[in-house]
């Protein structure tokens, strides 16, 4: 995943710039489906995506995932950096339920003091960069 941004600017949200490896991710999320790159041979998931499997070198393709996972790590953003996100808020690194080590970054829509490592969450695909693309955010769920 590649984004562009103006360092220090709060006047413009980052806009995804899909490349050959990430285009499938952005096309899928635009259609409201979270898909992750998966090996067609050994069936391992991988993220960030690549055209070939990091494990066995065989071709990969994007496949839908559950969107469920848990907070692996997080930070609390206390300064305004992105329009539409009023601090304080949490940016989490979420490990997906499909496979250990497959982690996505996104805002966790929960009170800052409620977020903790291991918190079960589920993805919501929200407009980013003016609405042409959708990116992952996460909301708490019960197990």
Write out the residues near Zn ion by the rule CB under 5 A. 39, 41-42, 53, 55-56, 58
Backbone φ, ψ for residue 53 (5° rounding) = -65, 130
CB of 48 to Zn ion, least distance (A): 15
Evaluate whether 56 touches 68 at the Cβ level (below 8 Å): no
Choice between 25 and 89, CB closer to Zn ion: 25
> Which residues neighbour 7 within 8 Å (Cβ) at sequence distance 6 or greater?
none
Choice between 56 and 117, CB closer to Zn ion: 56
CB of 37 to Zn ion, least distance (A): 10
Question: CB count, 10 Å around CB of 120?
Answer: 15
- Three-state SS for 138? strand
Choice between 29 and 46, CB closer to Zn ion: 46
CB of 61 to Zn ion, least distance (A): 11
CB of 51 to Zn ion, least distance (A): 12
């Amino acid at each position: 995943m590649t984004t562009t941004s103006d360092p220090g600017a709060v006047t413009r949200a980052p806009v995804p710039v899909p490349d050959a490896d990430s285009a499938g991710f952005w096309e899928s999320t635009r259609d409201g489906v979270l898909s992750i790159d998966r090996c067609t041979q050994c069936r391992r998931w991988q993220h960030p995506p690549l055209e070939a499997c990091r494990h066995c070198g065989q071709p990969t393709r994007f496949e839908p995932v559950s969107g469920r996972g848990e907070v692996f790590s997080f930070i609390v953003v206390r300064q305004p950096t992105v329009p539409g996100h009023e601090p304080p808020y949490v940016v989490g690194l979420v490990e997906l339920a499909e496979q250990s080590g497959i982690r996505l970054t996104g805002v966790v829509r929960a009170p800052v003091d409620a977020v903790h490592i291991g918190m079960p969450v589920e993805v919501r695909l929200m407009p980013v960069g003016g609405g042409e693309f959708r990116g992952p955010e996460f909301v708490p769920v019960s197990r």
